[in-house]
Structure 1
Amino acid sequence: MKSLVEHIAKALVDEPDEVLVTEQQEGDTLSITLYVHPSDVGKVIGKQGRTAKAMRSLVYAAAVPEHKRVRLDIVD
């Protein structure tokens, strides 16, 4: 899951070296945190949050067999 989020984020941003993804299992919930350079936050979130929503949809779809719940946070 971590590599999927990292791959998508690096394709979207201007500073791909600043992309960091962490994963933490909390019970039946997988928490994924995406850190990007402050100037790239808008690119990852997208207009009206559409890019972030699409990323979350992909992560949820990929996680269904393994995890019951997945959470994706985007941080600058």
Structure 2
Amino acid sequence: MKALIESIVTPLVDHPEDVVVNEKVEESKVVYHLTVNQDDVGKVIGKNGRIAKAIRTVVYAAKTDANKRIYLDIM
């Protein structure tokens, strides 16, 4: 899942070397923290959050464990 998030976000940003995805597994959920360069935050979020919503839609659709919810935090 980390590779999927990185492959979606990397072409969108000007500083692909600063894209970091951290995974935190909890009992009933998995949280992915996406961190990008401060200059690229607007590009990842998009106008009215449309790009962020699209990224979340793809990630949620690709989940592998049916018992855990997936969350994507963009920082």
TM-score, reference length from structure 2: 0.94
1:16-31, aligned counterparts within 5 Å? 16-31=16-31
The one-letter amino acid of 2:36's match is V
**RMSD value over aligned CA atoms?**
0.9
Partner SS, residue 43 of structure 1:
helix
TM-superposed CA distance for 1:24, in Å, is 1.1
For 1:66, the equivalent position in structure 2 comes to 65
Structure 1: give runs of 5+ residues left out of the alignment: none
For 2:3, the equivalent position in structure 1 comes to 3
Q: Give, in whole Å, the separation in 2 of the partners of 1:58 and 1:25.
A: 19
1:32-51, aligned counterparts within 5 Å? 32-51=32-51
Q: Give, in whole Å, the separation in 2 of the partners of 1:23 and 1:2.
A: 8
Runs of 4+ with >6 A deviation: none
TM-superposed CA distance for 1:34, in Å, is 0.3
Structure 2: give runs of 5+ residues left out of the alignment: none
Aligned length: 74
TM-superposed CA distance for 1:22, in Å, is 0.6
